[in-house]
Amino acid sequence: SLPESAGGQNWTPAEIGASFALASMVLVPMCTVGLPFLVRKVGVVAACLGCWTPAALVVPLFPRAVQFLLNSGWGRRSWPVMLVTFGGQMAFSQMLGTGFVAVQMILFDFAQGQPGANTLMATGTGWLTMAQGIGCAVAPPAIGMLATLGQRAEAQGWAWVSRALPFDVLAVGILVFCVTPLLLLPAGAVPDLRSGRSAGGATRVGE
């Protein structure tokens, strides 16, 4: 975390860990109660869109809101800064976390209706785990590189590039790789999982 003299919040590792722990604790009831309720009401694809589309908007706004408050004279421990920081972190975690759980629901329900369902589910789980592992490995150096580029561009007075560059790239990634494929799905390609049983015979969420 950047020091306050450089326009940052000077977060300690303990504070960063606490923010992630709080977001994770809230994510548990969101995935076990909130997501099933949402899927029963609007269907799994609409639930995914409802999670990821707001996330793509929150992600780039969050660092700019924090920086605006700091530049306006609020201290890093002031209640507006803490509210935006923890609120943004929690909103981001809930939306992306529930969105990825919904993707797993789509995958498993699709596999249930295919020959060799057990093999497909095992393979799909393996691919999901591998993708998560690659993301965890690539994210730290990628974020560090983007943050460095953004800070240098900001120092040189670039108009459209700032220290928020990692968040901007993440927002574009959510729109391109998460939201757009769902919008391009043909009608009926994914069971809506709202009631009864899915096409593959699996019990739908909430049952």
Quick: pLDDT tens for 97-114: 777 787 777 777 777 777
CA-based torsion, 178, 184, 189, 191: positive or negative: positive
DSSP state of 55: H
Torsion angle defined by CA atoms of residues 155, 17, 80 and 29, in that order, rounded to the nearest 10 degrees? 130
**How far apart (Å, rounded) are the C-alpha atoms in residues 151 and 157?**
10
pLDDT of residue 192: 55
**How many alpha carbons fall within 13 Å on the CB side of residue 65?**
17
Rounded to an integer, what distance in angstroms lies between the CA atom of residue 95 and that of residue 120? 27
- What does the pLDDT read at residue 3? 59
Q: Which of 84, 95, 83, 101 is nearest to 55 (CA)?
A: 95
DSSP code of residue 5: G
Residue 205 has pLDDT above 80, yes or no: no
Task: Out of 39-48, 65-74, 99-108, pick the least confident.
Answer: 99-108
Burial profile 33-69: b = 16 or more Cβ within 10 angstroms, e = fewer: eebbebbbeebbbbbbbbbbbebbebbbebbebbbeb
User: What is the percentage of the chain residues whose pLDDT exceeds 90?
Assistant: 2
**The residue count for the chain:** 207
pLDDT exceeds cutoff 60 at 143: yes
Distance CA 145, CA 143 (A): 5
What value does the mean pLDDT take over residues 171-190? Answer: 80
Is residue 193 within 8 A of residue 184, CB to CB? The reply is no
- Global model pTM greater than 0.95: no
Please state, in angstroms and rounded to a whole number, the distance separating the CA atoms of residues 205 and 195: 8
Residue bearing the bigger pLDDT, 17 or 197: 17
